[in-house]
Amino acid sequence: MSPAGTAERRGGAVGRLLTGERVRTLAGFAVAAVALFGVAPALLSDFRLGLLAKFCCLAMVAVGIGLAWGRGGMLTLGQGVYFGLGGYLMAMHLKLADAGPGGVPDFMLLYGDGTVPGWWEPLRSPVVTVVAIVLVPVALASALGFAVFTRRVRGAYFAILSQALAAAFAILLVGQQKVTGGTNGLNGFRSFFGYDLADPVNKEMLYLIAAGTLLAMVAIVRLLMRSRFGELLVAVRDQENRVRFLGYDPAAVKVVAYAVAAAFAGIGGALFVPIVGIISPADVGVVPSIGFLVGVAIGGRATLLGPVLGALAVSWAQTSLSEQFPSFWTYFQGALFIVVVAFLPGGLASLGGVRRRWRAGRAERDDVPDEVPARAAQAPTTPSETVTSGSTP
Q: Which pLDDT does position 335 carry in this prediction?
A: 79
Q: Which pLDDT does position 56 carry in this prediction?
A: 95
Residue 190 has pLDDT above 60, yes or no: yes
Average confidence (pLDDT) over 157-164: 89
pLDDT tier at 369 (50, 70, 90 boundaries)? Answer: low
Residue 384 has pLDDT above 50, yes or no: no
Phi, psi of 196 (to 5 degrees): -70, 120
Q: Which pLDDT does position 7 carry in this prediction?
A: 46
CA distance 178 to 46: 34
Average confidence (pLDDT) over 343-359: 65
Q: Which pLDDT does position 67 carry in this prediction?
A: 93
Q: Which of 131-140, 141-150, 238-247, 269-278 has the lowest mean pLDDT?
A: 238-247
Average confidence (pLDDT) over 184-192: 91
Residue 154 has pLDDT above 50, yes or no: yes
Residue 8 has pLDDT above 70, yes or no: no
Arithmetic mean of pLDDT over the chain? 83
Name the residue with higher pLDDT: 75 or 337.
75
Percent of the chain with pLDDT over 70: 82
Is the domain defined by 50-348 classed in CATH 1.10.3470?
A: yes
Q: Which pLDDT does position 354 carry in this prediction?
A: 55
CA distance 129 to 272: 15
pLDDT tier at 62 (50, 70, 90 boundaries)? Answer: very high
Name the residue with higher pLDDT: 323 or 127.
127
Phi/psi zone of residue 76: left (φ > 0), alpha (ψ -120 to 50 degrees), beta? beta
Residue 106 has pLDDT above 70, yes or no: yes
SS (H, E, C) the chain: CCHHHHHHHHHHHHHHHHHHHHHHHHHHHHHHHHHHHHHHHHHCCHHHHHHHHHHHHHHHHHHHHHHHHHHCCCCCCCHHHHHHHHHHHHHHHHHHHHHCCCCCCHHHHHHCCCCCCCCCHHHHCHHHHHHHHHHHHHHHHHHHHHHHHCCCCCCHHHHHHHHHHHHHHHHHHHHCHHHHCHHHCEECCCEECCEECCCHHHHHHHHHHHHHHHHHHHHHHHHHHHCHHHHHHHHHHHCHHHHHHCCCCHHHHHHHHHHHHHHHHHHHHHHHHHHHCEECHHHCCHHHHHHHHHHHHHHCCCCCCHHHHHHHHHHHHHHHHHHHCCCCHHHHHHHHHHHHHHHCCCCHHHHHHHHHHHHHHHHHHHHHHHHHHHHHHHCCCCHHHHHHCCCCC
Residue 167 has pLDDT above 80, yes or no: yes
Q: Which pLDDT does position 18 carry in this prediction?
A: 52
Average confidence (pLDDT) over 349-375: 58
Upper half-sphere CA count for residue 240 (Cβ side, 13 Å) = 17
Name the residue with higher pLDDT: 18 or 128.
128
pLDDT tier at 355 (50, 70, 90 boundaries)? Answer: low
pLDDT tier at 294 (50, 70, 90 boundaries)? Answer: confident
Average confidence (pLDDT) over 47-70: 93
CA distances 92 to 36, 45, 65, 190, 380, Å, are 29, 30, 26, 13, 87
Q: Which of 193-202, 271-280, 326-335, 344-353 has the lowest mean pLDDT?
A: 344-353
pLDDT tier at 27 (50, 70, 90 boundaries)? Answer: confident
Q: Which pLDDT does position 392 carry in this prediction?
A: 40
pLDDT tier at 280 (50, 70, 90 boundaries)? Answer: very high
pLDDT tier at 382 (50, 70, 90 boundaries)? Answer: very low
Does the pTM surpass 0.85? The reply is no
- Which residue type sits at 197? L
CA distance 267 to 190: 20
Average confidence (pLDDT) over 352-381: 55
